[in-house]
C-alpha cells in the first residue's frame, strides 16, 4: 500500500511520520509516536477513551485517519501537566476526589473536561454529565468525576483563572 | 501513623493521570508481531475444511495456526466450581472439528502488524457444515433435541441440589404459597480495556515471558504449564496495569494458550489485543438464569420455606469458573432471612452462546433480584409494608455466627452481622416513611414514582490462603511483596496503609510489588472481594514479623531491652532517651549478610507470612432506590439511591465508597440497559457499544454511600469483610421493586427496558401468579 508522509504538532512538538492512508490516528499516536497515554477502548467512536484535542476541540482519534490530521495541532494527556512534578488542575482534582480507578478511561475524560471548561468555565451538573456522557467509565460510576469537575470550576472561578 | 481508616489519596493515581501507566497494549518488544484470531461466524457447525493457503501468502504474514498445528491440544481445566459432570464440556483452546458459539476460535494469524493480520483473516477459507443451534435455555433441555457435546445428554452439563430442613412440611403448613418465575438476562463485566497478551519466548534460556495476565497470575501460570508441558520455572508472568476486571478478566481463556503457543512456534514475540467486537463475543458473559420459586408464608409474613429451580445458562462450554454462578445463586438465595426449610435444584445448561463465567457478585445479583422481588410479592399479597416483611424475617444478631445448613459446593456459616440494625440505620438515613409519602403523593398527581428495597448478603474473602513478604531495604524503604493482583481497584494504596501503620512509617515509604511470578513466589490473586481480607491480613502478619526482627536487632545494637524500645517514623527509639535511636535503614545495613552472619543473625531484613482461612466473611447491606417511570415512553429514571453496607472495618472509606459507586453503576446497567441479545439462530446482536449499552453519566443518579463498621469480622485480625461487590449486589432487586411500586405492576425479569415496562403497564397489575408448566428433564 502506498505510504504518505504526515506531520502534526502534538503537545507543542512537531512530529513527522510515514503511514498507510488507512492507519488510524490513534495507532499513529500510540504506536508510531509512542505517546501511549491515549487509549483504545472500542475502535468505533463510542467509548471516548481515545479522546484528544484538535485545535482545542475534543475528538475521537480512533475514527480519524492519521492522514486526515496532517498539519493539525493536537493535544494528548501527556501534554496536560506543565512538568513531571506537577499536575494540571483537572488532574489534581481527579486525584483528590478519587475520580479514577483503573485509569483506562481517564486520559480521554481529562481532555473532554479540559475542552468543556475552556468553553464553559462554570458548567452546571447537568452540563457536566451531558458532556462526559460520551466517555464511558466502567469503574467509578461517574459521581466522583462530576465532583472533580465542579471543584476545578469552583477553584478556577475563585482564583479568576481560566483553563490552559 | 493512622492511615488505616483514613481517606487516603491513591498511590497509583499519578501515573494514570499523567498517561504513563503501562497497560498490556503499551508493551513493546523488539521484533514484536501481532496476532488476530479467526472466529466462528456460526453458533453451531462442523468444521469441514480450513484453507489458509492464500492468507499465508499475504505480504507481512508470518504464519497461520489451526488445531492441526497443535498436536497435543488439551482442554482448559476448571479452577473452581467443579460440579461433577461439568468436565464433559470443557473447551479446547481452538476448534478441533466443531464450533459451538459465534466467536469460537478457529485459526490464529500472526503478522507484522494488526492491519495485515486482519487482512489475512479475511482470506482464510473455512468450509462449515451448519448444525441446528440451541439458543433457548429451557428448549436446550429437551431429551430429543440437538446436543452441543456428545457426552452430555439434554445439554445438562451438571445438576445439583441443596436441601435444608423439610421443605414439604413447610409448604403444607403455609397460610400462603407464592409461585413465580423470574429471569435475569445475559450481560457481563465488559471492562473498558479489552483483554490482551504479549508473549515472548527466549529459546536459549527456555523462558516464556507473558505480559497481560492478571487476577491470578500464579494459578494461570500453573494451567499454562500443564497445557504447554513447560515447567512453571520456565514461565514468567507479569501483570501490567489493568483496565478493569469485574470477574471476567484474568481467567484462563483460549487466547491465553494460543498467544504463547504462537510465540514459541514462530520464535517471535506475539502481541494480541482483543478488539471490542471480539470482547463482546469471546470474553465470559454472565447472569443468564431462570428461577422458578415457591415460597411458603405465614399470614404474618414470616417465611416458612423456599423452593427454587434454577436454570443457569452456561453457554457453549464449561469455562474456568465451572458452575460458580449457579452455585453462588443457590447458596445465597436466602440472603439475610432465617429460612429454615430450603430446597434448590440447579441445572447447568449448555447453549450455543458465548460461555459464561462470573461477573461481580456472581449468582448473588441474580438471587437477590429473585428473593427481594419475592419479598415484595409477599408484602403486596398480605398488604404489608415491604420493609415490615423484611423485619419479620431477618436472622437476629444474637444468632450469629449463623449456619445456613450444608451446601455441596459453598461455605455457609455467616460470620457476623446485625441485619436489622443496618436496615433501620439505612431507612432512617433516607427517611423511608417520608420517601413513601412523597412517592404516594406524586402518584396521586399522576407521576409514576416508587421506592424499592433490596437487601443482600455477600460472600467475600475467598481463601484458603494468601502470601506476603515484607522487606526493609538499606534506604529504609519498606517493600511489600504480595500474592494479590490489581485490576484497578487501588490495592497498592490499601495494602500500603496497613503496612505503613504496622511499621510506623510514612505511606510514601512503602512500595507494593505484585503480579510478577518471578518476584512473588506464591499467590492466589484478587477475586471474590478477597484482596483486603486475605492479602491485607497476610501483609499485616508479615509486617508484624518484620517489626519484631527490627526491634530484636535494634535492641542488640543499642544494648537495651525490647521493652524499652518503640518505633516511630522509620526509627527504633529508646523510651525516655529520644536521642538514642537507630533508623530502619541502619538496621537493614546491619542485616547485610557480611555483618549479620558474623553477629549471629540470619541475613536480610525480611519476613514471609501466609494468612490462611477456610472460612469466609459475609458482608451485607441494603439498597434503597427511588425511581420515576415515564408512563408514555416506559423509560425508568433513578432519582435517588442509597447503598449501606457493613464492611466490618473500612481501611480506606473513600476507596470503599468508590467500589460501591462503581458497583452501583454496573448494577444499574444490569437493571436497565445491558443485555447480550441473541438471534433465534444464536447470532449475537450486541457486538458493539451501539447495541450493548453501558450506563453513562446521564443514567447514574447522585447516590449516597454508607460504608458501616457495625460488626468487625471475627475471622481475621483486621476485622475486614471485603467490599468489592456490595454496590452491585442488590441493585437489580431494589430497582425492580421501585419500578413495581411506581407503576403498580409486578416485574419478573431484567432488564427493565421501556418496551417491557410498557407491556407490563398494558397488562395491568398482576398480583396473582400463574402456575408454572412442568419441566421436562
CA distances from B575 to B501, B502, B567, B590, B747 (A): 20, 19, 10, 22, 67
CA distances from B397 to A164, B302, B394, B414, B419 (A): 56, 17, 9, 11, 7
- B247 CA: distance to closest CA in chain A (Å): 13
Contacts of A49 in chain B (CB under 8 A): 192
| pLDDT computed for residue B599 by the predictor | 85
pLDDT digits (tens, 9 = 90+) for B616-646: 999 999 999 999 999 999 999 999 999 999 9
- Give chain A's length: 164
Contacts of A137 in chain B (CB under 8 A): 192
Say if B36 is an interface residue toward chain A (CB within 8 Å): no
All structural domains of chain A with their residue ranges: 4-79, 89-158
Pairwise CB contact (< 8 Å): A107 & B690: no
- Please, which residues 71-90 of chain A have a Cβ atom closer than 8 Å to chain B? 76-78, 80-81, 84, 87
Contacts of A102 in chain B (CB under 8 A): 16, 191-193, 241-244, 487-489
Reported as a pLDDT band with limits 50, 70 and 90, residue B231 is: very high
Average pLDDT over residues B104-114: 98
- B699 CA: distance to closest CA in chain A (Å): 9
Reported as a pLDDT band with limits 50, 70 and 90, residue B166 is: very high
- Please, which residues 261-300 of chain B have a Cβ atom closer than 8 Å to chain A? 273, 275-276
**At B507, is the secondary structure helix, strand, or coil?**
helix
CB atoms within 10 A of CB B761: 16
Contacts of B673 in chain A (CB under 8 A): none
Collect the ranges in chain A with pLDDT lower than 50: none
pTM summary value: 0.97
Residue B730 has which C-alpha cell?
442488590
Question: Beta strand pairing status for B235-238 and B207-211?
Answer: parallel
CA–CA dist B207, B200 (Å, integer): 8
**At B326, is the secondary structure helix, strand, or coil?**
helix
Average pLDDT over residues B751-759: 97
Angle, alpha carbons B272-A102-B624 (nearest 5°): 125
Contacts of A61 in chain B (CB under 8 A): none
Pairwise CB contact (< 8 Å): A100 & B13: yes
Q: Which of A22, A46, A139 sits opposite B662 (nearest CB)?
A: A139
Residues B94, B123 contacting (CB under 8 angstroms): no
CA–CA dist B415, B711 (Å, integer): 10
> What fold characterizes domain A89-158?
DNA polymerase; domain 1 (1.10.150)
Angle, alpha carbons B193-B199-B200 (nearest 5°): 145
Residue of B nearest to A129 (CA): B697
Does the pLDDT of residue B776 top 60, yes or no? no
Residues B232, B222 contacting (CB under 8 angstroms): yes
Q: Which of A41, A76, A102 sits opposite B242 (nearest CB)?
A: A102
Phi-psi region at B158: left, alpha or beta (left = phi > 0; alpha = psi -120 to 50): beta
CA–CA dist B588, B584 (Å, integer): 6
**At B244, is the secondary structure helix, strand, or coil?**
coil
- Please, which residues 93-112 of chain A have a Cβ atom closer than 8 Å to chain B? 94-96, 98, 100-107, 110
* Bridge partners for B317 per DSSP: none
Closest by Cα among B239, B182, B190, B183 to B215: B239
- B697 CA: distance to closest CA in chain A (Å): 5
Say if B658 is an interface residue toward chain A (CB within 8 Å): yes
Pairwise CB contact (< 8 Å): B244 & A138: yes
- A133 CA: distance to closest CA in chain B (Å): 5
| pLDDT computed for residue B775 by the predictor | 37
CA distances from A22 to A62, B25, B463 (A): 11, 20, 50
Pairwise CB contact (< 8 Å): A141 & B654: no
| pLDDT computed for residue A162 by the predictor | 82
Best mutation site among B17, B34, B193, B638 for testing chain A: the one with the most A CBs within 10 Å?
B17
Question: Beta strand pairing status for A57-60 and A51-54?
Answer: antiparallel
Which residues, 6 or more positions from B604, have their beta carbon under 8 angstroms from its beta carbon? B471, B591, B593, B596
Closest by Cα among B389, B380, B17, B316 to B148: B316
Positive/negative CA dihedral, B11, B17, B23, B28:
negative
* Bridge partners for B295 per DSSP: B178, B306
Does the pLDDT of residue B777 top 80, yes or no? no
| pLDDT computed for residue A161 by the predictor | 83
Q: Where are the beta strands (DSSP E) in B506-632?
A: 510-514, 565-568, 571-574, 577-583, 606-612, 620-629
Rounded to the nearest 5°, which phi and psi values hold at B771?
Answer: -80, 125
pLDDT digits (tens, 9 = 90+) for B566-592: 999 999 999 999 899 999 999 999 999
Best mutation site among A24, A31, A90, A102 for testing chain B: the one with the most B CBs within 10 Å?
A102
Residue of B nearest to A105 (CA): B192
E strand or H helix at B315: strand B303-315
Rounded to the nearest 5°, which phi and psi values hold at B660?
Answer: -65, -45
What proportion of chain B, given as a percentage, has pLDDT over 90?
97
Say if A63 is an interface residue toward chain B (CB within 8 Å): no
Averaged confidence pLDDT in chain B: 96
Query: Within 13 Å, how many C-alpha atoms sit on residue B370's CB side?
Result: 33
CA distances from B626 to B176, B356, B434, B701 (A): 29, 31, 12, 10
| pLDDT computed for residue A160 by the predictor | 83
E strand or H helix at A15: strand A13-19
Average pLDDT over residues B309-334: 98
Q: Which of A30, A41, A132 sits opposite B192 (nearest CB)?
A: A41
Closest by Cα among B129, B46, B105 to B355: B105
Query: Within 13 Å, how many C-alpha atoms sit on residue B647's CB side?
Result: 28
Average pLDDT over residues B107-129: 98
pLDDT digits (tens, 9 = 90+) for B701-731: 999 999 999 999 999 999 999 999 999 999 9
Instruction: Please name the residue ranges forming H helices in B504-583.
Output: 536-558
Pairwise CB contact (< 8 Å): A100 & B16: yes
**At B527, is the secondary structure helix, strand, or coil?**
coil
Best mutation site among A22, A139, A146 for testing chain B: the one with the most B CBs within 10 Å?
A139
CB pairs under 8 A between A and B: 171
Q: Classify domain A4-79 by CATH architecture.
A: Roll (3.10)
Contacts of B9 in chain A (CB under 8 A): 95-96, 98
Pairwise CB contact (< 8 Å): A143 & B243: no
pLDDT digits (tens, 9 = 90+) for B244-299: 999 999 999 999 999 999 999 999 999 999 999 999 999 999 999 999 999 999 99
Angle, alpha carbons B345-B346-B348 (nearest 5°): 155
- B208 CA: distance to closest CA in chain A (Å): 24
Pairwise CB contact (< 8 Å): B666 & A107: no
pLDDT digits (tens, 9 = 90+) for B145-157: 999 999 999 999 9
Q: Which of A87, A107, A141 sits opposite B662 (nearest CB)?
A: A141
Pairwise CB contact (< 8 Å): B19 & A137: no
Does the pLDDT of residue B767 top 70, yes or no? no
ipTM > 0.95, yes or no: yes
CA–CA dist B613, B534 (Å, integer): 8
Pairwise CB contact (< 8 Å): B663 & A106: no
CA–CA dist B515, A161 (Å, integer): 43
Q: Which of B25, B487, B689 sits opposite A40 (nearest CB)?
A: B25
Reported as a pLDDT band with limits 50, 70 and 90, residue B771 is: very low
Residue of A nearest to B653 (CA): A98
CA–CA dist B342, B335 (Å, integer): 12
- Give chain B's length: 777
Reported as a pLDDT band with limits 50, 70 and 90, residue B769 is: very low
Residue of B nearest to A30 (CA): B26
Pairwise CB contact (< 8 Å): A143 & B703: yes
- A158 CA: distance to closest CA in chain B (Å): 24
| pLDDT computed for residue B773 by the predictor | 37
| pLDDT computed for residue B774 by the predictor | 33
pLDDT digits (tens, 9 = 90+) for B18-55: 999 999 999 999 999 999 999 999 999 999 999 999 99
**At B535, is the secondary structure helix, strand, or coil?**
helix
Residue B594 C-alpha from the chain's centroid? 47
Contacts of A94 in chain B (CB under 8 A): 13, 17
Does the pLDDT of residue B765 top 90, yes or no? no
Say if A46 is an interface residue toward chain B (CB within 8 Å): yes
**At B568, is the secondary structure helix, strand, or coil?**
strand
Amino acid at each position: 500500500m502506498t505510504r504518505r508522509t504526515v506531520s502534526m504538532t502534538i503537545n507543542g512538538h512537531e512530529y513527522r511520520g510515514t503511514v498507510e492512508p488507512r492507519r488510524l490516528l490513534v495507532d499513529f499516536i500510540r504506536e508510531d509516536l509512542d505517546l501511549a497515554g491515549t487509549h483504545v477502548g472500542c475502535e468505533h467512536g463510542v467509548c471516548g477513551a481515545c479522546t484528544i484535542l484538535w485545535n482545542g476541540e475534543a475528538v475521537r482519534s480512533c475514527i480519524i485517519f492519521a492522514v486526515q490530521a496532517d498539519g493539525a495541532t493536537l493535544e494528548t494527556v501527556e501534554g496536560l501537566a506543565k512538568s513531571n512534578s506537577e499536575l494540571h488542575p483537572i488532574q489534581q482534582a481527579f486525584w483528590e476526589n478519587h475520580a479514577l480507578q483503573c485509569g483506562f478511561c481517564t486520559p480521554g475524560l481529562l481532555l473532554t473536561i479540559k475542552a468543556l471548561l475552556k468553553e464553559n468555565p462554570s458548567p452546571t451538573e447537568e452540563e457536566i454529565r451531558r458532556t462526559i456522557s460520551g466517555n464511558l467509565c466502567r469503574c467509578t460510576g461517574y459521581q466522583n468525576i462530576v465532583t472533580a469537575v465542579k471543584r476545578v470550576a469552583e477553584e478556577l472561578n475563585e482564583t479568576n483563572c481560566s483553563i490552559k | 501513623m493512622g492511615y488505616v481508616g483514613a481517606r487516603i489519596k491513591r498511590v497509583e493515581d499519578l501515573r494514570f493521570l499523567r498517561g504513563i501507566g503501562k497497560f498490556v497494549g503499551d508493551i513493546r518488544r523488539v521484533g514484536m508481531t501481532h496476532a488476530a484470531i479467526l472466529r466462528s461466524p456460526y453458533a453451531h457447525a462442523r468444521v469441514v475444511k480450513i484453507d489458509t493457503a492464500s492468507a499465508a501468502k499475504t505480504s507481512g504474514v508470518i504464519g497461520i495456526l489451526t488445531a492441526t498445528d497443535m498436536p497435543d491440544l488439551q482442554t482448559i481445566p476448571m479452577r473452581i466450581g467443579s460440579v461433577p459432570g461439568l468436565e464433559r464440556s470443557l473447551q479446547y483452546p481452538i476448534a478441533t472439528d466443531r464450533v459451538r458459539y459465534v466467536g469460537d476460535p478457529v485459526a490464529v494469524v500472526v503478522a507484522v502488524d494488526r492491519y495485515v493480520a486482519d487482512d489475512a483473516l479475511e482470506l482464510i477459507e473455512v468450509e462449515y457444515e451448519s448444525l441446528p443451534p440451541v439458543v433457548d435455555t429451557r428448549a436446550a433441555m429437551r431429551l430429543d433435541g440437538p446436543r452441543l457435546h456428545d457426552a452430555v445428554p439434554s445439554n445438562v452439563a451438571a445438576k445439583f441440589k441443596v436441601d435444608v430442613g423439610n421443605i414439604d412440611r413447610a409448604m403444607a403448613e403455609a397460610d400462603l404459597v407464592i409461585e413465580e418465575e423470574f429471569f435475569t438476562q445475559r450481560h457481563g463485566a465488559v471492562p473498558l480495556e479489552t483483554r490482551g497478551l504479549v508473549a515472548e519466548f527466549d529459546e536459549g534460556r527456555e523462558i516464556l515471558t507473558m505480559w497481560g495476565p492478571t487476577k491470578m497470575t500464579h494459578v494461570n501460570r500453573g494451567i499454562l504449564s500443564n497445557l504447554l508441558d513447560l515447567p512453571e520455572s520456565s514461565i514468567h508472568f507479569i501483570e501490567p496495569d489493568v483496565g478493569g476486571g469485574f470477574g471476567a478478566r484474568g481467567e484462563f481463556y483460549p487466547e491465553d494458550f494460543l498467544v504463547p503457543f504462537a510465540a514459541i512456534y514462530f520464535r517471535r514475540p506475539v502481541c494480541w489485543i482483543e478488539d471490542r467486537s471480539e470482547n463482546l463475543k469471546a470474553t465470559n458473559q454472565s447472569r443468564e438464569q431462570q428461577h422458578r420459586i415457591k415460597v411458603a408464608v405465614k399470614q404474618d409474613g414470616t417465611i416458612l420455606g423456599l423452593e427454587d429451580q434454577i436454570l443457569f445458562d452456561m453457554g457453549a462450554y464449561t469455562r474456568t469458573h465451572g458452575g460458580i454462578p449457579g452455585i453462588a445463586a443457590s447458596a445465597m438465595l436466602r440472603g439475610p432471612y432465617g429460612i429454615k426449610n430450603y430446597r434448590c435444584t440447579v441445572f447447568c445448561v449448555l447453549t450455543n452462546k458465548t460461555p459464561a463465567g462470573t461477573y461481580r457478585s456472581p449468582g448473588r445479583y441474580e438471587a437477590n433480584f429473585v428473593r427481594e422481588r419475592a419479598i415484595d410479592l409477599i408484602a403486596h399479597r398480605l398488604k404489608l409494608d415491604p420493609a415490615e416483611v423484611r423485619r419479620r424475617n431477618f436472622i437476629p444478631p444474637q444468632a450469629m455466627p449463623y449456619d445456613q445448613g450444608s451446601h455441596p459446593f459453598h461455605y455457609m456459616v455467616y460470620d457476623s452481622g446485625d441485619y436489622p440494625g443496618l436496615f433501620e440505620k439505612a431507612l432512617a438515613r433516607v427517611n423511608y416513611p417520608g420517601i413513601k409519602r412523597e412517592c404516594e403523593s406524586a402518584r396521586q398527581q399522576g407521576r409514576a414514582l416508587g421506592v424499592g428495597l433490596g437487601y443482600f448478603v455477600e460472600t467475600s474473602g475467598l481463601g484458603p490462603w494468601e502470601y506476603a513478604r515484607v522487606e526493609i531495604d538499606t534506604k529504609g524503604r519498606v517493600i511489600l511483596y504480595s500474592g494479590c493482583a490489581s485490576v484497578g481497584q487501588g490495592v497498592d494504596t490499601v495494602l500500603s496503609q496497613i503496612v505503613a501503620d504496622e511499621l510506623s512509617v510514612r505511606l510514601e515509604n512503602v512500595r507494593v510489588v505484585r503480579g510478577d511470578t518471578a518476584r512473588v513466589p506464591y499467590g492466589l490473586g484478587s477475586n471474590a472481594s478477597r484482596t483486603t481480607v486475605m492479602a491485607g491480613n497476610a501483609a499485616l502478619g508479615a509486617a508484624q514479623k518484620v517489626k519484631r526482627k527490627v526491634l530484636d536487632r535494634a535492641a542488640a545494637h543499642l544494648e537495651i531491652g525490647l521493652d524499652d524500645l518503640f518505633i516511630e517514623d522509620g526509627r527504633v527509639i529508646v523510651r525516655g532517651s529520644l536521642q538514642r535511636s537507630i533508623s530502619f535503614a541502619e538496621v537493614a545495613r546491619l542485616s547485610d549478610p557480611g555483618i549479620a552472619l558474623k553477629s549471629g543473625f540470619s541475613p536480610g531484613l525480611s519476613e514471609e507470612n501466609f494468612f490462611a482461612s477456610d472460612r469466609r466473611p459475609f458482608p451485607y447491606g441494603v439498597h434503597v432506590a427511588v425511581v420515576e417511570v415515564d408512563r408514555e415512553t416506559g423509560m425508568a429514571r433513578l432519582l435517588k439511591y442509597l447503598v449501606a453496607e457493613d464492611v466490618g472495618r473500612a481501611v480506606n472509606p473513600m476507596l470503599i465508597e468508590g467500589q460501591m459507586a462503581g458497583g452501583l453503576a454496573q448494577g444499574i446497567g444490569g437493571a436497565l440497559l445491558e443485555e447480550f441479545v441473541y438471534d433465534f439462530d444464536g447470532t449475537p446482536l450486541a457486538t458493539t457499544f451501539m447495541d450493548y449499552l453501558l450506563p453513562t453519566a446521564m443514567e447514574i443518579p447522585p447516590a449516597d454511600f454508607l460504608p458501616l463498621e457495625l460488626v468487625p469480622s471475627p475471622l481475621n485480625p483486621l476485622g475486614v469483610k471485603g467490599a468489592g461487590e456490595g454496590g452491585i449486589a442488590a441493585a437489580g432487586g431494589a430497582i425492580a421493586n421501585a419500578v413495581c411500586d411506581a407503576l403498580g405492576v409486578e416485574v419478573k425479569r431484567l432488564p427493565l427496558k421501556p418496551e417491557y415496562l410498557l407491556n407490563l403497564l398494558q397488562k395491568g397489575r398482576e398480583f396473582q401468579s400463574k402456575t408454572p408448566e412442568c419441566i421436562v428433564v
